[in-house]
Amino acid sequence: MLVLSGWSSRAACTSGNAEALFADDPVQRAATAVCADCPVRTECLAYALDNRIHHGVWGGMTERERRALLRSRPAVPSWQRLLDTEHAADTPLPRVS
């Protein structure tokens, strides 16, 4: 696995089938279950949003969900900062339907 940052080695997906996280959309939705209890879910999602990663499941969100979130909040300068603040306040991670 490619090590992106110190958090990535603690990700729940490192011990499973990481290819499912980069499969087609229906498989990706099922793969998000791996992220549910991941200890670095916030860091992973922030990394994908801040770096505009368009492929795969990151932080429990599919590529479609992340694109919709980015479109709905285009003025966010740092997702890492925003998610850290919300996580510290025990606010659930964003979901887009």
Q: What is the dihedral of CA 67, 68, 70, 73, to 10 degrees?
A: 180
13 is in an annotated binding site: yes
First to last CA, the chain: 30
38 is in an annotated binding site: yes
List binding-site positions: 13, 35, 38, 44
Binding-site annotation: residue ranges for [4Fe-4S] cluster? 13, 35, 38, 44
